[in-house]
């Protein structure tokens, strides 16, 4: 009996050791997205900040590069968070929204409609950047099942080692430095780009054989709308300004019709670049695809005004609970901007 | 422990295994219908053979013709038939069963389920081992299930996975790159491909067999060993006693001995050996006749060249066997011969290290490959001692070994997107 108990205990201890080793190795091999492809960690940074946001942004790179929640707060006292990720497709946005509602119920949910043009998963790499760092829940299960490309396997999302094992000889200092800890490399989901790369020649605008958005896109847009209705959150549709990829008139028409049918607000900022004051010779960091800080500041001021005027959001700058937190964030944000600009200037001087 | 005689349990597990086998096989489409038909017809033929002995001849000739037809497709410009997966393996088993019944070795199997499982037992359906009916029946009847057996089986399977995913998959990257461009990669590259393929094939095939034997052990079924450190053989004859053992036994029992074996003089013995290896060549496929012939010649005359040095004999045997595996690397005999000649005529040996290291494997991959090959070599060298030691380990240590192997495979295995880890080289034959 004593021997049997000893066997069970020692075997159990070995099993526990194996599990710990398995988890540690999995963690080590998984990309940390701290300095390289930092967008991959945005989704998880939200969990530390979840709650108390009046506005949540959803969408692809056009949201996390173009809207700055810090500027929204600075100018209007709006508390906002961007849950955008690279190539976030419509069904991804739906599941991210579903997850967000577990943590908070924002007044307004802003959805960037650029993703409507994609009816199927684009690539495994983009899926990973959105899904890898999400916490497990029904929403993550849904997003994985909806997003997997043919070559992907569900189990590799459950056990990331199945996907990332080949990184064993590509580990960098980052993998060890951020083994347990993570750093905030966004400002409420905003990716800061201070560099300027003026818009130059863009690909030729080609006529498409079919401009209609896919059924699946409308299906998930419907689900997102119903989810917001259910939660009492206002869904606002936007198209962030960019010169490329082209936002066709036929695309715009479909969204306008959808918004009109369901009484939603839709702001196409591509058409309002002049009003916003955008100048693509200085307000973009990649030749017109995305805005840089200066462009994001202009767009956030413009959109913040709309949110305040037309959607009745509250100014939290005097809120005794929120103000100290946001003032501190704003200070860090400004310090980083100053640092980046200085670095940039030094580099130019060299 | 499962006690012999607990028939209900045995039947239930057999039924589950039979259904699982068919369910997996059903994924291969028309192959599953063929397998079911073969199972049913072979069962009926087996029941008839004791009374109508000519049924054995009809069944055997039909099966040989079908195999020959499948192999002959190699020379045809189009392929009229799709070879059902694993046909080479279950056909040999069924033929042996019918011949044994004809010889009166045992009574025909009355239970269709037991017979069905003998043919369709999933773990060995795709690459063997080729089990004689009597041995398979004993293995199924004397099934022993225990935690210890389960653990031993798991460790054996994981070791097989390590061979397959850590060693064979990496070597496959290099061998495929070389064999894909025979005009570009000759001389030193051809020689490297021969050696690397020898190790790749061994790691792949024996790894697969380890998985089959391990999974069977986990289910309480003890199957025949198919390898015994083949590259430690001191002659090609000995190599064939250590490589694909169950195929060798089958060929000896059902081809070599019926031809007269070694009983009718030196010339007949030589001829019988050659014929047996030609059959082996045909079994492997239409393009392997010359490979079989050469093996037959080396098996017959190779012993004459044995030296007093074990190491020298082993190295020489490895060189010969590796050279002969060339038939499996390049697509046709002409290319194989051209590559073999290039080894002596194209002197690009100085460029080999840089050339090979640029072939998709990283520095880390080479280190992992080197360490894993060393482990494989040590294991083959000391397998009996290591197995005995492992058996004496307490349960916790065995679990630890299993965990270590699992982590090694998970971390250093080549699998996932871009890799077809479930394909084994020998499941094509």
Mean of pLDDT over chain A = 92
* Contact with chain A for residue B403, Cβ under 8 A: yes
Euclidean distance between CA atoms A231 and B335, whole angstroms: 70
Same domain, B226 and B331: yes
Q: Above pLDDT 90, what percent of chain B?
A: 49
Q: In this model, does residue B2 exceed pLDDT 50?
A: no
* Contact with chain A for residue B136, Cβ under 8 A: no
Q: Is residue A348 domain-resident?
A: no
Q: In this model, does residue B421 exceed pLDDT 60?
A: no
Q: Is residue A205 domain-resident?
A: no
Q: Is residue B277 domain-resident?
A: no
Euclidean distance between CA atoms B397 and A229, whole angstroms: 58
Q: Is residue B216 domain-resident?
A: yes
Q: What is the pLDDT of residue B121?
A: 83
Same domain, B413 and B328: yes
Euclidean distance between CA atoms B176 and B356, whole angstroms: 12
Q: What is the pLDDT of residue B219?
A: 86
* Contact with chain A for residue B396, Cβ under 8 A: yes
* Contact with chain B for residue A18, Cβ under 8 A: yes
Q: Is residue A12 domain-resident?
A: no
Same domain, B322 and B208: yes
Q: Is residue A250 domain-resident?
A: yes
Q: In this model, does residue B256 exceed pLDDT 90?
A: yes
Q: In this model, does residue B27 exceed pLDDT 80?
A: no
- Measured between CA atoms, the residue of chain B closest to residue A24 is B407
Under an 8 A CB cutoff, do A25 and B395 touch? no
Nearest Cα to B190, choosing from B390, B305, B344, B303?
Answer: B344
- Measured between CA atoms, the residue of chain A closest to residue B366 is A169
- Residue matched to tokens 């037809």: B69
Same domain, B227 and B330: yes
Return the residue in A30, A124, A161, A166 with the most chain B beta carbons within 10 A, the one to mutate for interface testing: A166
Same domain, B229 and B331: yes
Q: Is residue B367 domain-resident?
A: yes
- Measured between CA atoms, the residue of chain B closest to residue A12 is B396
Reported confidence tier of residue A64, pLDDT bands at 50, 70, 90: very high
Mean of pLDDT over chain B = 87
Under an 8 A CB cutoff, do A14 and B365 touch? no
Under an 8 A CB cutoff, do B395 and A151 touch? no
Q: Output B401 or B416, whichever has higher pLDDT.
A: B401
Q: Average of pLDDT values for B206-229?
A: 92
Under an 8 A CB cutoff, do A162 and B410 touch? yes
Q: Average of pLDDT values for A331-340?
A: 94
What's the CATH number where A279 sits?
3.40.50.1110
Reported confidence tier of residue B4, pLDDT bands at 50, 70, 90: very low
Enclosing domain of residue A140: 31-199+211-317
Q: Is residue A347 domain-resident?
A: no
Q: In this model, does residue B1 exceed pLDDT 60?
A: no
* Contact with chain B for residue A171, Cβ under 8 A: no
Euclidean distance between CA atoms B262 and A132, whole angstroms: 66
Distance (Å) of CA B106 to CA A222, B111, B120, B135: 70, 14, 20, 12
Euclidean distance between CA atoms B154 and B156, whole angstroms: 5
Burial of B91 (0-12, 13-18, 19+ CB in 10 A): buried
Of B141, B176, B191, which residue sits at a domain end?
B141
Q: Is residue A241 domain-resident?
A: yes
Which of A4-13, B23-32, B117-126 has the least mean pLDDT?
B23-32
Q: What is the pLDDT of residue B89?
A: 85
Q: Is residue B207 domain-resident?
A: yes
Contacts of A127 in chain B (CB under 8 A): none
Reported confidence tier of residue B8, pLDDT bands at 50, 70, 90: low
Q: Output B286 or A12, whichever has higher pLDDT.
A: A12
Enclosing domain of residue B129: 7-141
Q: Above pLDDT 70, what percent of chain B?
A: 92
Under an 8 A CB cutoff, do B400 and A25 touch? no
Q: Is residue B25 domain-resident?
A: yes
Contacts of A152 in chain B (CB under 8 A): 417
Number of structural domains found in chain B? 2
Under an 8 A CB cutoff, do A168 and B364 touch? yes
Q: Average of pLDDT values for A103-127?
A: 93
Q: How far is A116 from chain B (nearest CA, A)?
A: 28
Under an 8 A CB cutoff, do A14 and B364 touch? no
Same domain, B210 and B116: no
- For the stretch B381-393, pLDDT in tens is 998 999 999 988 9
Reported confidence tier of residue A98, pLDDT bands at 50, 70, 90: very high
Q: Is residue B208 domain-resident?
A: yes
Q: Is residue A341 domain-resident?
A: no
Q: Is residue B274 domain-resident?
A: no
Under an 8 A CB cutoff, do B410 and A169 touch? no
Q: In this model, does residue B6 exceed pLDDT 60?
A: no
- For the stretch B42-58, pLDDT in tens is 999 999 999 998 999 99
Count A/B contacts: CB-CB distance under 8 Å. Answer: 63
Under an 8 A CB cutoff, do B411 and A15 touch? no
Same domain, B193 and B331: yes
- For the stretch B361-383, pLDDT in tens is 888 999 999 999 999 999 999 98
Q: Is residue B43 domain-resident?
A: yes
Of B83, B118, B141, which residue sits at a domain end?
B141
Q: What is the pLDDT of residue B369?
A: 95
| 8-state DSSP, A37 | S
Q: What is the pTM of this model?
A: 0.84
Number of structural domains found in chain A? 1
Q: Average of pLDDT values for A192-197?
A: 92
Same domain, B35 and B90: yes
- For the stretch A20-51, pLDDT in tens is 999 999 999 999 888 878 888 899 999 988 88
Q: In this model, does residue B99 exceed pLDDT 80?
A: yes
Choose the closest CB to B416 out of A18, A25, A156.
A156
Q: Average of pLDDT values for B3-14?
A: 63
Q: Six-digit token pair at B233?
A: 């053989």
Under an 8 A CB cutoff, do B396 and A14 touch? yes
Same domain, B230 and B337: yes
Nearest Cα to A96, choosing from A107, A87, A85?
Answer: A85
* Contact with chain A for residue B406, Cβ under 8 A: yes
Same domain, B115 and B158: no
Of B111, B141, B171, which residue sits at a domain end?
B141
* Contact with chain B for residue A165, Cβ under 8 A: yes
Same domain, B179 and B226: yes
Q: Is residue A204 domain-resident?
A: no
* Contact with chain A for residue B292, Cβ under 8 A: no
Q: Output B90 or A84, whichever has higher pLDDT.
A: A84
Reported confidence tier of residue B319, pLDDT bands at 50, 70, 90: very high
On whether the CB atoms of residues B293 and B278 are closer than 8 A, the answer is yes
Nearest Cα to A97, choosing from A43, A39, A56, A69?
Answer: A56
Euclidean distance between CA atoms A63 and A83, whole angstroms: 8
Same domain, B113 and B194: no
* Contact with chain A for residue B400, Cβ under 8 A: yes
Euclidean distance between CA atoms A228 and A100, whole angstroms: 11
Q: What is the pLDDT of residue B282?
A: 84
Contacts of B364 in chain A (CB under 8 A): 168-170
């Amino acid at each position: 009996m004593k021997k049997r108990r000893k066997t069970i205990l020692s075997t159990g201890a070995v099993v526990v050791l194996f599990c710990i080793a398995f988890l540690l190795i999995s963690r080590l091999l998984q990309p940390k997205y701290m300095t390289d492809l930092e967008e991959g960690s945005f989704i998880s940074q939200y969990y530390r900040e979840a709650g108390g946001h009046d506005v949540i942004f959803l969408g692809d790179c056009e949201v996390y590069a173009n809207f700055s929640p810090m500027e929204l707060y600075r100018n209007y006292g709006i508390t906002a968070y961007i849950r955008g990720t690279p190539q976030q497709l419509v069904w991804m946005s739906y599941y991210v929204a579903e997850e967000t509602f577990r943590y908070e119920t924002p007044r307004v949910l802003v959805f960037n409609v650029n993703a409507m043009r994609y009816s199927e998963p684009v690539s495994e790499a983009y899926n990973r950047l959105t899904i890898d760092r999400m916490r497990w829940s029904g929403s993550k299960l849904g997003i994985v099942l909806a997003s997997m490309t043919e070559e992907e396997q569900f189990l590799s999302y459950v056990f990331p080692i199945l996907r990332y094992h080949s990184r064993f000889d590509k580990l960098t200092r980052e993998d060890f430095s951020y083994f347990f800890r993570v750093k905030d490399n966004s400002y409420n989901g905003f990716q800061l780009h201070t560099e300027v790369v003026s818009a130059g020649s863009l690909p030729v605008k080609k006529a498409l054989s079919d401009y209609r958005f896919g059924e699946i896109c409308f299906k998930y847009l419907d689900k997102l709308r119903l989810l917001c209705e259910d939660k009492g959150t206002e869904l606002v549709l936007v198209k962030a300004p960019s010169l490329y990829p082209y936002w066709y008139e036929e695309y715009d028409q479909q969204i306008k019709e959808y918004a009109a049918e369901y009484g939603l607000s839709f702001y196409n900022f591509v058409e309002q670049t002049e009003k916003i004051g955008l100048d693509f010779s200085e307000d973009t960091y990649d030749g017109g695809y995305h805005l840089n800080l200066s462009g994001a500041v202009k767009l956030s001021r413009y959109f913040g005004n709309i949110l305040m005027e037309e959607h009745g959001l509250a100014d939290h700058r005097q809120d005794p609970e929120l103000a100290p937190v946001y003032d501190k964030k704003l200070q860090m944000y400004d310090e980083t901007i100053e640092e980046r600009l200085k670095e940039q200037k030094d580099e130019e001087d060299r | 422990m499962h006690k012999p005689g607990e028939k209900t349990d045995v039947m239930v597990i057999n039924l589950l295994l039979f259904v699982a086998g068919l369910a997996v096989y059903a994924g291969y489409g028309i192959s599953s219908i063929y397998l079911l038909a073969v199972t049913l017809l072979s069962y009926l033929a087996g029941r008839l053979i004791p009374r109508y002995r000519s049924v054995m001849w009809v069944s055997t000739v039909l099966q040989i013709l079908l195999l020959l037809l499948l192999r002959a497709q190699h020379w045809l410009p189009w392929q009229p038939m799709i070879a059902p997966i694993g046909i080479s393996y279950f056909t040999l088993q069924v033929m042996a069963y019918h011949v044994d019944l004809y010889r009166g070795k045992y009574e025909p199997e009355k239970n269709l389920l037991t017979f069905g499982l003998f043919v369709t037992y999933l773990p060995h359906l795709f690459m063997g081992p080729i089990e004689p009916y009597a041995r398979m029946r004993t293995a199924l009847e004397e099934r022993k299930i225990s935690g210890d057996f389960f653990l031993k089986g798991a460790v054996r399977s994981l070791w097989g996975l390590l061979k397959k995913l850590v060693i064979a998959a990496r070597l496959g990257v290099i061998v495929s790159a070389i064999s894909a461009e025979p005009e570009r990669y000759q001389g030193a590259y051809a020689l490297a491909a021969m050696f690397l393929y020898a190790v790749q094939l061994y790691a792949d095939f024996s790894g697969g067999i380890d998985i089959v034997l391990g999974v069977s052990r986990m289910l309480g079924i003890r199957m025949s060993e198919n390898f015994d450190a083949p590259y430690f053989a001191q002659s090609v004859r000995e190599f064939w006693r250590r490589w694909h053992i169950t195929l060798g036994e089958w060929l000896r029992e059902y081809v070599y001995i019926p031809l007269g074996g070694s009983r009718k003089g030196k010339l007949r013995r030589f001829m019988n050996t050659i014929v047996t290896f030609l059959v082996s060549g045909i079994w492997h496929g239409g393009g392997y006749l010359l490979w079989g012939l050469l093996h037959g010649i080396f098996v017959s005359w190779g012993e004459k060249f044995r030296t007093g040095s074990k190491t020298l004999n082993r190295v020489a045997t490895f060189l010969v066997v590796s050279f002969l595996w060339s038939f499996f690397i390049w697509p046709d005999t002409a290319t194989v011969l051209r590559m073999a000649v290039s080894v002596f005529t194209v002197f690009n040996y100085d460029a080999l290290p840089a050339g090979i290291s640029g072939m998709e494997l990283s520095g880390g991959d080479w280190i992992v490959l080197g360490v894993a090959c060393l482990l494989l070599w040590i294991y083959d060298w000391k397998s009996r001692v290591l197995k005995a030691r492992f058996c004496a380990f307490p349960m916790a240590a065995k679990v630890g070994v299993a965990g270590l192997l699992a982590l090694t495979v998970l971390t250093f295995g080549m699998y996932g997107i871009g890799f077809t880890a479930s394909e084994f080289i020998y499941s094509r034959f």
